[in-house]
Amino acid sequence: MKKYSLFLLLVSLTGHARAAESNNHWQSATSASTASPEKQVPPKDQEPLATLPLPSAALRYTQEQATPLSGAEIEQLGRAADAASRGRAYQSRVTLPRISTLTVNLSPGASVPILRTAADQTSSVTFSDSTGAPWKLGAPPFNSNNKGFQVSYIPGSAMMAVQALRRYDTGNVTVYLEGLAVPVVVNLTSGEPDNKSATQIMDSRLDLRLPQRGPDAKPMAQPESKIGLYNTVLQAFLDGMPPLEAKRLRTNGNLASTTVWQLGDDLYIRSRSEIRDEFEQTLSSLDGTHLWKLPLTPYVNFSVMGRTEPLTIHLE
């Protein structure tokens, strides 16, 4: 019995020794898994991100968006736009504006004054009496052709404005002046269709003079018989367009806006100052310009701001 117990003890000790011997060997250390991870697949409803372009490609793209045209192409486009603007602004006729003065004849059978207008232009018409004073409108002017012309005026003034709305149109306007028993009729035209000329004369301003003293007539020392209302030569000098044979003379004196011409044996003096010497005929415009006709003389006196100013004329 004792021998059997000793035998079991020896067997038990031998097993523990072998287990200890096997545990004392080198063991492999734990390490990260070397297995390759599974590839992640994006969801089917999410599109993959686009690959960004390289910097050089991005720069080229930006330049193409900012400046799609080259410098030469931009210049060519500018020239084409300029040519188109010139085409839109082309006028078949060149308009020549004029400032004219007419004396209205109110007698039966007399001709009616004509206002020459042009498309895209405005013509002004003024009214004055025989002394050069403004003659105000007493009522709105009546336009016979509203589709062809636009007529407007300033109440209490002696002026109206006319603008042609169509080319080659005609009409008239009736004007009522304060204190005048008869109306003043002015014919309107915006061009003659039969005229093939490359130029068209228009009245930028037409001064109509009535052969009577108006409500605001200026006091005059000279008799009205010296007013050359229907003298076309006087009117030409007053308009600053003298006859070709007239000679302009040199002058000395402290007179502004004064011009002297010689025509034959007569002097024609155009000035805004009042003359003191004797003269033969005179004519005045609404803007205060006067014209005097007098015999040849080297000296003429004028009134300027209440004082006498001499004018020396160099005769030829």
What contacts 240, CB < 8 A, 6 or more positions away?
259, 270
Contact 283, 230 (CB under 8 A): no
The listed CATH number (2.60.40.1080, 3.30.450.40, 3.40.50.300, 3.40.50.170) that belongs to domain 94-209: 2.60.40.1080
pLDDT for position 305: 86
Record the pTM. Answer: 0.67
Domains of the chain, by residue range, sit at: 94-209, 225-313
SS3 readout for 54-118: CHHHHHHHHHHHHCCCCHHHHHHHHHHHHHHHHHHCCCCCEEEEEEEEEECCCCCCCCCCEEECC
What's the pLDDT at 41? Answer: 57
pLDDT tens digit at each of 316 positions of the chain: 545 555 555 545 455 445 445 445 444 444 445 455 555 555 555 566 666 656 678 887 887 788 888 888 889 988 998 888 888 777 778 889 999 889 999 999 999 999 999 988 999 999 999 888 999 999 999 999 999 999 999 999 999 999 999 999 999 999 999 999 999 999 999 988 888 888 899 999 999 999 999 999 888 766 778 888 889 999 999 988 899 999 999 999 988 889 999 999 999 999 999 999 999 999 988 888 999 999 999 999 999 888 999 999 999 8
Distance from C-alpha of 57 to C-alpha of 293, rounded to nearest angstrom: 87
pLDDT at 22: 47
Contact 161, 173 (CB under 8 A): no
pLDDT, position 20 = 46
Cβ atoms of 163 and 147 closer than 8 Å:
no
Backbone angles phi, psi at 243, to 5 degrees: -60, 155
Q: Are strands 259-263 and 247-248 parallel, antiparallel or unpaired?
A: antiparallel
What's the CA gap between 51 and 195, in Å, rounded? 73
- CA 60 remoteness from chain centre: 44
pLDDT score recorded for residue 28: 44
CA distance 246 to 238: 13
Three-state SS across the chain? Answer: CHHHHHHHHHHHHHHHHHHHHHHCCCCCCCCCCCCCCCCCCCCCCCCCCCCCCCHHHHHHHHHHHHCCCCHHHHHHHHHHHHHHHHHHCCCCCEEEEEEEEEECCCCCCCCCCEEECCECCEEEEEEECCCCCECCECCCCEECCCCCEEEEECCCCCEEEEEECCCCCEEEEEECECCCCCCEEEEEECCCCCCCCCEEEEEEEEEEECCCCCCCCCCCCCCHHHECCCCHHHHHHHCCCCCCCCEECCEECCCCCCEEEEECCEEEEEECCEECCCCCEEEECCCCCEEEEEECCCEEEEEECCEEEEEEECCC
